[in-house]
Chain A
Amino acid sequence: GESVGLHLPTLSVQEGDNSIINCAYSNSASDYFIWYKQESGKGPQFIIDIRSNMDKRQGQRVTVLLNKTVKHLSLQIAATQPGDSAVYFCAEKSGANNLFFGTGTRLTVIP
């Protein structure tokens, strides 16, 4: 399943499928791009970040892709599990400036 940033804030996927959450960012001067996960009733939780001079970074079951040409960031979750259901925020950061959160995408995993 795949979301298209601001136009599809909700993404539903079958358990075991891969998920792709997209984000368009605005500040080409940002040093880092970050993904946070927020479960219901909890604060955001850091997932993974990527420096602006990279185009791909992998973590455990997650991969972040950065396309600076079109100012696009994506989070890929492999073998999506029910525990992955949450709202996912992309964020950008430049130096000591604040962490600016983009609009979130709600991921729902269907068992």
Chain B
Amino acid sequence: DTEVTQTPKHLVMGMTNKKSLKCEQHMGHRAMYWYKQKAKKPPELMFVYSYEKLSINESVPSRFSPECPNSSLLNLHLHALQPEDSALYLCASSQGISRTEAFFGQGTRLTVV
């Protein structure tokens, strides 16, 4: 199993809503990542978890709150988002944070209205 599974695939939410994005992998990877990708742009790193601990937070606004309940799961809790937060949110995992080969999920297409 070399898959990273993200749910939901699409999400439309209002600016006052609270929602969560979910990511799951069963490859035994100990590093997991959240990336944000705007249209026609490269993915931008948001958060890195290593061994279930937050390792990197790339100055992401607090309306995005990551959570790593266990080594296979990664969540991104969303609250009070802005329309400019609309993007593709990608989850990835790798064997460790020093590895170059990251496996990406298909992403959640988020639209904030």
Contact = CB atoms under 8 A, between A and B. Distances in A.
25 contacts: A32-B100, A34-B100, A34-B101, A42-B104, A43-B4, A43-B104, A43-B105, A44-B104, A46-B100, A46-B103, A49-B101, A89-B43, A93-B100, A96-B55, A98-B33, A98-B45, A98-B48, A98-B56, A98-B58, A100-B45, A101-B42, A101-B43, A101-B44, A102-B42, A104-B40
Interface residues of A, number: 20
A73 to B, nearest CB: 13
Nearest to B101: A46
Contacts of B44: 101
Given A43-B4, A49-B100, A49-B101, A99 B45 contact: yes
Interface string B30-71: 000100000011111100101000011010000000000000
A83 to B, nearest CB: 17
Nearest to A101: B42
Interface of A: 32, 34, 41-46, 49, 89, 93, 95-96, 98-104
B87 interface: no
B94 to A, nearest CB: 9
B102 interface: yes
A107 B33 CA distance: 27
B92 interface: yes
A104 B42 contact: yes
Nearest to A98: B45
A43 B101 contact: no
Given A43-B106, A96-B98, 6 more contacts: A41-B106, A44-B102, A44-B104, A96-B97, A98-B56, A99-B100
B43 A44 contact: yes
Contact of A43 (B45, B58, B90): B90
